[in-house]
Amino acid sequence: MRRYYRSMLPSWKNLSDPIFTHAVERPDQPALVEGPAVLTYADVAALVDKASRFITSLGIGPGDRVGICLTARADHVVLLYALLRVGAQVTELAASARPDAALLRQLGIGQVFVEPDAAPSIIALTKIDTNWREVLADSGGGERYSTPDDAVATVTLSSGTTGIPKGIVLTHGQHFARYRATTETFTADGVFAYGKALPFLLVASLSNAGFFRYVICQIASGGAVVLVPEYRHAVDLAVAVLNQGEAVLTANANMARAFLAIAPASGLLFPRLKALISIGQPLYADEKRALAARVTPNFYDKYGATGIGGIACLAPHEVAAHAASVGRAVPGVEIEIVDRNGAALPSGAVGRLRCRSVTAAQGFVADAGSIDEGIVDGWHYPGELASLDAEGYVHIAGRAADLIRRGDSEFFPPAIEAVIAEHPAILEVAVAARAAAGGGAEIIAFVVLKKSVPERELMRHCASRLPQERRPDRIVVLAAMPKLAGGKTDRTRLKTGDFKPIARQDAPGKRA
């Protein structure tokens, strides 16, 4: 079935090609939905065609590295595909922060498309204003870049979990390989099915590699991308999702936890949602089961890395029995658990996780990679330690960089975090270790609270459930957990002390 499904997909070379295929096969199918405005595939193809001529008029052509620093809107998607069509190499940048000039130089980016109110920069900026489509109306059609198999499409920034974000190089062909792997992963449920894809709800920035990847998949499938407006509260996002009815939604761990916090005690928060796909930072086993029981039974836990795409997936029918895992290898991905010398370890043993697939990136910009995180001898190392059980389910122990050593014991923050998260007052928790004054490691638990609770109560909770060596030495209450651009917890800031704790007299329960 998978082989047949793959053979039915068109043979494309440039990531913009699917838009023009769909413009012929299903011209009236909605492609981009932004509030009441709907652009069909015929509309988007015409805009991309004109935008490609506009882009070449700026002197941008094949091989040029370009940044996009825009909010998630229809013009952003049109610009993205027009740049890809002319052969430019695109890097998505977080619109919430000023582009870092040093990082742009390291990546070789000489031009950035920004919002109209963007601050001046030493990098050349092109502002995409509200009248941009009027500018395009005066442009003639452009020419498609004759795309070779190894042509670079994107230089994607990693989340920066282990330090400075890395530029990960992906070709047009590797993006298409990831799309085909995604369709095979979800074939049984019809998610991202070619020609009949359900609406996909984009609820985060395209600078987040996971959300970007699913937009590429949705456009290749010929389905609608619904650009959900920015929201301040989880309930606003939930209402937007409910209004869409049958749709597909990807969410990071923070979004998933927010859904749980407002889910009804009985019944489902999203009874019509066809798929909720958790990506990015891992969820705890109890959270996965709760999401399946109270938010939607169509819950998927997808584990992946920017350098290779999807690695493993836990399908809805597997959640009850295997929630402690992140699922089994997705089609086309080979997973091994090895020691530091690259020797394979037996089932159940914890070691370095590595994987390989045709979906793996070409490499990193200005970073050779290592077995801690990188691509070495054809194997991609996401930087995590894990084990494989007898049934092939992947169990993540933690990131190699976060390993805590205390006495003769070695363990990872998630083992402590999962226990602390069981307390009803906890909204978020992250554990970090620092060198103690007298030697050894000091374990600090950072928490964001749903309601005020004495520190001694949290300490008693830990003491009743954790062995002595794993109990936190301190618990620090934060108003908000420091986050990286993609939504993951910024553990580097927690380790270095770059955060602002809430004073003891504050009332965390009253904070948004």
| 107, two tokens | 């990546």
Residues 293-326: b if buried by 16+ CB within 10 A, e if exposed: bbbbbbbbbbbbbbbbbbbbbbbbebbeebbebb
Confidence category of residue 127, pLDDT binned at 50, 70, 90: confident
For residue 336, the Cα-to-chain-centroid distance in whole angstroms is: 23
Where do you find CATH 3.30.300.30 in the chain?
403-510
Confidence category of residue 510, pLDDT binned at 50, 70, 90: very low
195: closest CA among 173, 216, 169, 222? 222
Q: What does the pLDDT read at residue 499?
A: 65
Enumerate the β-bridge partners of residue 312.
303, 329
Confidence category of residue 122, pLDDT binned at 50, 70, 90: low
User: Over 80: is that where the pLDDT of 508 sits?
Assistant: no
Task: Find the largest Cα–Cα distance for the chain.
Answer: 71
Domain 1-171 sits in CATH 3.40.50.980: yes
Q: Average pLDDT of the chain?
A: 87
Q: What does the pLDDT read at residue 33?
A: 97
Note the CATH number of domain 403-510: 3.30.300.30
User: Contact, 276 vs 295, CB < 8 A?
Assistant: yes
User: Over 80: is that where the pLDDT of 503 sits?
Assistant: no
- DSSP code string of 58-117: TT--TT-EEEEE--SSHHHHHHHHHHHHTT-EEEE--TTS---HHHHHHHT--EEEE-TT
Confidence category of residue 162, pLDDT binned at 50, 70, 90: low
- DSSP code string of 157-206: EP--TTSSPPEEEEEHHHHHHHHHHHHHHTGGGTTT-TT-PPPEEE-S-T
Who wins on pLDDT, 342 or 100? 342
Q: Which of 109-123, 247-261, 283-297 has the lowest mean pLDDT?
A: 109-123
Q: What's the whole-number mean pLDDT along residues 456-482?
A: 92
Write down the pTM of the prediction: 0.86
Where do you find CATH 3.40.50.980 in the chain?
1-171
In angstroms, the Cα distances linking 277 to 85, 211, 292, 304, 326 are: 29, 10, 11, 12, 12
Q: Which of 258-262, 298-302, 339-343 has the highest mean pLDDT?
A: 298-302
Q: What's the whole-number mean pLDDT along residues 448-476?
A: 92
- What's the angle, vertex CA 302, arms to CA 292 and CA 12, rounded to 5? 130
pLDDT, one tens digit per residue, over 31-44 is 999 999 999 999 99
Handedness of CA 489, 494, 496, 499 (dihedral sign): positive
Enumerate the β-bridge partners of residue 305.
309
Q: What's the whole-number mean pLDDT along residues 478-485?
A: 83
| 303, two tokens | 């584990």
